[in-house]
Structure 1
Amino acid sequence: MLQFRTEGPDLIVAGQPLRALAASLGQTPFYVYDRALLQQRSQALRAALPAGIQVHYAMKANPLPAVVACMVGLVDGIDVASAGEMRVALAQGADPQHMSFAGPGKRAEELRAAVEAGVLVNVESFRELPLLAQASQALGRPARVAVRVNPDFELKGSGMRMGGGPKQFGVDAEEVPRLLGEMGRLGLQFEGFHLFAGSQNLRAEAIGEAQRLSYELALRLAADAPAPVRHLNLGGGFGIPYFPGEQPLDLAPVAANLAELQERAGRDMPEAHLVLELGRYLVGEAGLYVARVLDRKVSRGQVFLVTDGGLHHHLAASGNFGQVIRKNYPVAIGNRMDEPATESVHVVGPLCTPLDLLAERMSLPAAQEGDLVVVYQSGAYGASASPQGFLGHPGCLEVLV
């Protein structure tokens, strides 16, 4: 588990006290991402995985250009989910030959942009095929395609199920042979398969099972492919611990399982390289969200720390507009790290809704106006996944240090 260190009362970020960082930025709230921790996570993952397993960064997790530029130097490829993300990735030096584009409902102009750039398109429906063929003919270059498969299984215990059952994602496995035939008829450049069963999973055995089932399904479908499989994206699903009692993912059994699949692939699909698509796991623990206490209120015996940030910047920490059973992310008072937790408080934002809640009945040191509230595990699905225009409050800064 990645950790920010402390020094006396201060949380240390990229070698400097949090208070000094906040003063240099000149405002709160802000997200801060630690470059050294991004590198540490990538290096640890590389050391654990078998050589030859490729790692792609799913930039939907954090599309800040500075973060993307950092990740381009740490991973083998970038996975995007829109033409907007594709433009950012290309501008930050990503190699289009090692970039893939997934997502339902791709617009014709997005598909054309991907073909023009030479990006691999993960096809999600029959509708995309003639659009890709038209773009290929107009541009005079083959459209690189893979099939995103909606498998007939789910990633057990995942935070979000992306495959299995009826889904808007990918092509149902039973329809893939017909899609492959159409790809061949249209002359598209088939390269492989993309299977993503689920996300945010901390159970190595569940991830291993999903990877094995994904491999076996891809191997069966390859019999109908118009060309050999060169690219097999087994998805990701690697989670990070957010809540009390959760333990970091044990990479050892995941790596052992991948080594077995890699050995099988050498026999079954000798031209294929195996790919992991990871977002949250690579960046989630390397980020903090920092807000300043504006008011300390006591209401009928309960303490409320009212901050200048909240739901509009960090929707996930607030509980996604009440759509999930809310649990507290790890929270601290970043300038009182050496003080004991002496009181139970609610940390809330400035919005006119009771859902604007960053911490509920959490034990923290006694905080006062001007103190800095820190939400850990905030490097993924933070600012870009939050309704920053809600109620017209100021947006937040994002910095990579």
Structure 2
Amino acid sequence: MNDTRPDHSPMDQFSVVDDCLQLGGQSLVDLAARIGQTPFYAYDRDAMTRRVALLRRSLPEGLSLHYAIKANPMPAVVQHMAGQVDGLDVASQREMQVALDTGTGPDDISFAGPGKSVPELEAAVAAGITINLESPTELERVGAIAARTGYQPRVAVRVNPDFELKSSGMRMSGGPKAFGIDAERVPDLLARIGELGLHFRGFHIFSGSQNLRPETLVEAQGQTFELALRLAESAPGPVEMLNIGGGFGIPYFPGDKPLDLGPVAEHLAGRLPAVRDALPDAEIILELGRYLVGEAGIYVAEVLDRKESRGQVFLVTNGGLHHHLAASGNFGQVIRKNYPVVVGNRVRGTEREVVNVVGPLCTPLDVLAQQMELARADVGDLIVVFQSGAYGYTASPTRFLSHPEPVEILV
């Protein structure tokens, strides 16, 4: 279990030639000319492949990797990832269709998320994918579909555990939550699954996301295994799958250190034999999204104007929060911090300055970089936001002020 710590600098994922960023063997300027417009997102398939390979080398054998499509549902990205991982997780009917279009078998697709509509549940039942039940109401709806159609739905229980993933960017468990079924209520739900004659597959236990501390991941995974073994005693059938979530984070801000996979891998290697002995039919699944694709993407906008206001320089671009809400600081940040940003065609540059990079929207929230040192840029230069492969385009209010939508490309 070696080679577990990726390079820290986001720019190290890509190369620089003649002071111009390279992506997929193409210079950023040539890529922009080929696309024919800005802004755009560009994703590097080789970077995604390398990340999966890193996990395969680092983690114990026999642990399945699933890609959470919500991180980046671009069909070309999903098609590429489907060839790298062992399964896919979806969170809507549209994502379900994208997943099925890759040729991935229904046995390897799961459907999570609260508030699934009846048409979505009907589509999932018809496709034969696993529905992660989020509530008793959802269970009864699935049972009614089974009675009406004669199909035997495949279901798992998404558990809201009685613990949380400490130091996570987004806590998904450990208290009153809209996600999953409280652990103490799961045994009653399992009994009802048996009464309805549904095909019980197992558990999905997810406690948080965007975590860079291996010790907290180890602690949460240990508690996850203990909870799963306890709940399995009430299961209406063999546990065929145990999805332990993911939570692996990537560095975004100054001071962030990349996740050290070593302790996580060591812990999993030590715990998995006992779990497999107790649950011999279970596929143990690690479900990741951001960690697989987040560092493989960039967002590129063009400088439209350069202006000064009371001693500060503003670079006004044609991109902004309507395309990249997370980079603007309006997608979960309490205190706004800058994503890694460079002038893509002047990555280093001989002349440097402190600037604000803003978008074209009529709101002071439209900021891509605030008081950040960059190479001196002018009209026509390209601003690049790194760490943009996950929760970018589809996590943004693209129709705000009706500006053109960005292009996406996989290189």
1:200 equivalent in alignment to 2:187: no
**1:224-239 residue pairs with structure 2 within 5 A?**
224-239=234-249
1:99 equivalent in alignment to 2:109: yes
Distance 1:289 1:261 in 2: 40
Once the two structures are TM-superposed, the CA of residue 295 in structure 1 deviates from its matched residue by: 0.5
Distance 2:348 2:67 in 1: 36
Change (3 A) 1:43 1:341: farther
1:357 equivalent in alignment to 2:367: yes
**1:2-401 residue pairs with structure 2 within 5 A?**
3-320=13-330, 324-340=334-350, 342-401=352-411
Amino acid corresponding to residue 252 of structure 2 in structure 1: Y
Distance 2:161 2:276 in 1: 23
Confirm or deny: 8 A CA contact 1:150 1:170 kept in the other structure.
yes
Runs of 4+ displaced beyond 4 Å: none
Amino acid corresponding to residue 33 of structure 1 in structure 2: Y
Change (3 A) 1:162 1:340: farther
* Larger CA deviation: 178-187 vs 257-266: 257-266
Once the two structures are TM-superposed, the CA of residue 136 in structure 1 deviates from its matched residue by: 2.1
Distance 1:136 1:262 in 2: 35
Confirm or deny: 8 A CA contact 1:145 1:192 kept in the other structure.
yes
Once the two structures are TM-superposed, the CA of residue 338 in structure 1 deviates from its matched residue by: 3.5
Distance 1:337 1:122 in 2: 45
Confirm or deny: 8 A CA contact 1:60 1:81 kept in the other structure.
yes
Once the two structures are TM-superposed, the CA of residue 357 in structure 1 deviates from its matched residue by: 0.2
Change (3 A) 1:364 1:49: same
Unaligned runs of 5+ in 2: 1-5, 7-11
Q: Give the equivalent residue in structure 1 for 2:3.
A: none
Once the two structures are TM-superposed, the CA of residue 266 in structure 1 deviates from its matched residue by: 2.1
Distance 1:46 1:399 in 2: 26
Confirm or deny: 8 A CA contact 1:10 1:336 kept in the other structure.
yes
Once the two structures are TM-superposed, the CA of residue 108 in structure 1 deviates from its matched residue by: 1.1
Distance 1:21 1:5 in 2: 14
Distance 1:143 1:285 in 2: 36
3-state SS of paired residue (1:127): helix
Confirm or deny: 8 A CA contact 1:29 1:396 kept in the other structure.
yes
Confirm or deny: 8 A CA contact 2:326 2:332 kept in the other structure.
no
3-state SS of paired residue (1:201): coil
Once the two structures are TM-superposed, the CA of residue 138 in structure 1 deviates from its matched residue by: 3.2
Deviations 1:125-151 (A, max 9, x none): 001122212222333331111110000
Distance 1:108 1:260 in 2: 42
Amino acid corresponding to residue 15 of structure 1 in structure 2: G
Change (3 A) 1:137 1:264: same
Once the two structures are TM-superposed, the CA of residue 339 in structure 1 deviates from its matched residue by: 1.3
Distance 1:93 1:203 in 2: 35
Distance 2:291 2:173 in 1: 19
**What RMSD, in angstroms, separates the aligned Cα atoms of the two structures?**
1.1
Change (3 A) 1:322 1:204: closer
Distance 2:189 2:331 in 1: 39
3-state SS of paired residue (1:315): coil
Distance 2:307 2:141 in 1: 58
Once the two structures are TM-superposed, the CA of residue 207 in structure 1 deviates from its matched residue by: 0.6
Confirm or deny: 8 A CA contact 2:41 2:409 kept in the other structure.
yes
Deviations 1:198-226 (A, max 9, x none): 00000001011111101100100100101
Normalising to structure 2: TM-score of the pair? 0.96
Distance 2:37 2:103 in 1: 30
Normalising to structure 1: TM-score of the pair? 0.98
Confirm or deny: 8 A CA contact 1:322 1:355 kept in the other structure.
no
Distance 1:138 1:78 in 2: 28
Deviations 1:172-205 (A, max 9, x none): 0000000000000000111110000000000001
Distance 1:293 1:166 in 2: 45
Once the two structures are TM-superposed, the CA of residue 109 in structure 1 deviates from its matched residue by: 1.3
Aligned length: 401
Deviations 1:89-139 (A, max 9, x none): 111222211000011111111111111101001001001122212222333
3-state SS of paired residue (2:107): helix
Distance 2:271 2:108 in 1: 21
Amino acid corresponding to residue 41 of structure 1 in structure 2: R
* Larger CA deviation: 1-10 vs 317-326: 317-326
Amino acid corresponding to residue 180 of structure 1 in structure 2: L
Distance 1:11 1:29 in 2: 16
Amino acid corresponding to residue 87 of structure 1 in structure 2: Q
Amino acid corresponding to residue 227 of structure 1 in structure 2: G
Give identity over the alignment, percent.
62
